[in-house]
Amino acid sequence: MEEELVKYLIDNKLTITTAESCTGGMISSTIVNVPGASWVLNEAYVTYANEAKEKLVGVKHSTLEEFGAVSKETAYEMAEGAGRTANADLAIAVTGIAGPDGGTPDKPVGTVYAGYYIKGNIVVERYNFDGDRYEVRKATTDTAINRLYELLLDLETI
């Protein structure tokens, strides 16, 4: 799917960035595996620590304190901040619990929030993935790339 996404972005002269916590750069790495990605991806952010979320993409300290790093509010601010900071048309932001530790009853291991920034509009979705740490990260990466592409195609038909 990443090939389709990069082709679409090149054809439509769109740029993309990422703000990644639980995936640790796997989404941007997957995108740059595609020839031509340098036309659409100028920069990306690995915001694993809360301090990085604040410093690099402007997540408010109060948001992290009130809702936590793994929340729809944080994913929203990550997506918005990444798009704005990179001056990109699109952004994918993900924050979650890859495991094996860190889960709670409300947010078990495998809980991920993804924010999709599309020219100033933001959609946030929650996912629950099964598997070990790598499998959660891989499922998050694949799902986020696929979902952004779906959202872009949906916008074309509106």
Which residues lie across from 95 on neighbouring strands?
113
Read off the pLDDT of residues 25-42 as tens digits, 9 standing for 90 and up: 999 999 999 999 999 999
97 CB neighbour count, 10 Å cutoff: 23
- Asked if 135 and 124 touch (Cβ cutoff 8 Å), the reply is no
* Structure confidence at residue 138 (pLDDT): 98
Mean of the per-residue pLDDT values of the chain: 97
* Structure confidence at residue 156 (pLDDT): 72
Tokens of 145: 């790339």
Tokens of 36: 């031509």
- Asked if 47 and 56 touch (Cβ cutoff 8 Å), the reply is yes
Domain layout of the chain by residue ranges: 2-156
CATH fold of 2-156 reads Maf protein (3.90.950)
Read off the pLDDT of residues 74-133 as tens digits, 9 standing for 90 and up: 999 999 999 999 999 999 999 999 999 999 999 999 999 999 999 999 999 999 999 999
* Pairing outcome for strands 16-20 and 90-96: parallel
Whole-number Å distance between alpha carbons of 92 and 90: 7
Q: Read off the DSSP letter of residue 41.
A: B
Which residues lie across from 20 on neighbouring strands?
46, 94
* Structure confidence at residue 158 (pLDDT): 46
* Structure confidence at residue 87 (pLDDT): 98
